[in-house]
């Protein structure tokens, strides 16, 4: 890495550390556990899933997607800023062959403006591209949910913006999980959620399996 790129990286990390609305250290123990799990699995060139609890709670992701190279680094109620902070531990250290990201859901629910969330999504990609110029990156869009349906228009606006941006980036893919979670009447399928009305049950993850399988098979 050149001196200029090193300085840029250090300044970028410092900027995000100073500007967090949340303290990323709240995830420190969880990240340590994920690192230990990854070390024990010792998968070379894994397919990395990283992001918030919709990934974290997908316990059978490798089985569902029939790919034993998948490692699940989903953690807590994370935001893009948290994943940026732990980028080295949860993404770079794994030396991934492909990266699937799920962030933005908690950001929008916390009231962050779309422009800020998009800026964070772009910052994360800049870190990935610095280290892994050719690795495919998949942005799984924030899902709909009963608990956050009052923010549906904000979510849809963000997803539209996210999709448009991914189309301008090489080897970056927008993954739509919003549309298939609607019923035939175009309304949210409320049968897809557990009791908290936010996280998905097996039916919800079955839909995600159907959506993501073609991307996994194409790797």
Task: Give, for all 219 residues of the chain, the pLDDT tens digit.
Answer: 445 544 544 444 444 444 445 788 899 999 999 999 999 999 999 999 999 999 999 999 999 999 999 999 999 899 999 999 999 999 999 999 999 999 999 999 999 999 999 999 999 999 999 999 999 999 999 999 999 999 999 999 999 999 999 999 999 999 999 999 999 999 999 999 999 999 999 999 999 999 999 999 999
pLDDT at 16: 44
pLDDT at 123: 98
pLDDT at 7: 52
Which tokens go with 93?
């250290």
Angle at 34 between CA 78 and CA 107, to 5 degrees: 5
Question: CA neighbours within 13 Å on the CB side: how many for 119?
Answer: 9
pLDDT at 18: 43
Domain parsing of the chain, residue ranges: 22-217
How is residue 22 annotated by DSSP? S
The CATH number of domain 22-217 is 3.90.1310.10: no
Q: Are 119 and 81 in contact (CB under 8 A)?
A: no
pLDDT at 24: 82
In sequence order, what DSSP letters do the residues of 46-104 get, joined into one string?
-EEEEESHHHHT-TTHHHHTT-TTEEEEE-TT--HHHHHHTHHHHTGGG--SEEEEE-S
Longest dimension (CA), the chain: 56
Q: In what order do the strands lie in the sheet containing 47-51?
A: 70-74, 47-51, 98-102, 137-140, 172-175
Q: Are 106 and 154 in contact (CB under 8 A)?
A: no
- Taking the C-alpha atoms of residue 67 and residue 102, their distance in angstroms, rounded to an integer, is 18
Pairing of strands 70-74, 98-102: unpaired
């Amino acid at each position: 890495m050149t001196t200029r790129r090193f300085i840029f990286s250090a300044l970028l990390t410092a900027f995000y550390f100073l500007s967090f609305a949340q303290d990323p250290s709240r995830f420190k123990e969880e990240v340590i556990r994920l690192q230990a799990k990854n070390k024990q699995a010792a998968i070379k060139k894994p397919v990395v899933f990283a992001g918030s609890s919709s990934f974290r709670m997908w316990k059978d992701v490798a089985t569902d997607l029939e790919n034993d190279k998948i490692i699940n680094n989903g953690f807590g109620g994370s935001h893009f800023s948290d994943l940026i902070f732990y980028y080295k531990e949860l993404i770079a250290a794994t030396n991934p062959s492909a990266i699937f990201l799920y962030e933005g859901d908690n950001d929008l629910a916390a009231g962050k403006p779309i422009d800020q969330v998009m800026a964070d999504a772009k910052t994360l990609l800049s870190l990935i591209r610095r280290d892994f110029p050719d690795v495919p990156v998949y942005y799984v869009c924030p899902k709909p949910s009963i608990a956050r349906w009052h923010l549906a228009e904000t979510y849809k606006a963000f997803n539209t913006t996210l999709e448009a941006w991914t189309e301008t980036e090489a080897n970056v893919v927008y993954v739509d999980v919003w549309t298939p979670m609607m019923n035939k009447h175009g309304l949210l399928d409320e049968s897809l959620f557990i009791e908290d009305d936010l996280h998905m049950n097996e039916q919800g993850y079955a839909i995600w399996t159907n959506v993501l399988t073609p991307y996994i098979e194409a790797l």
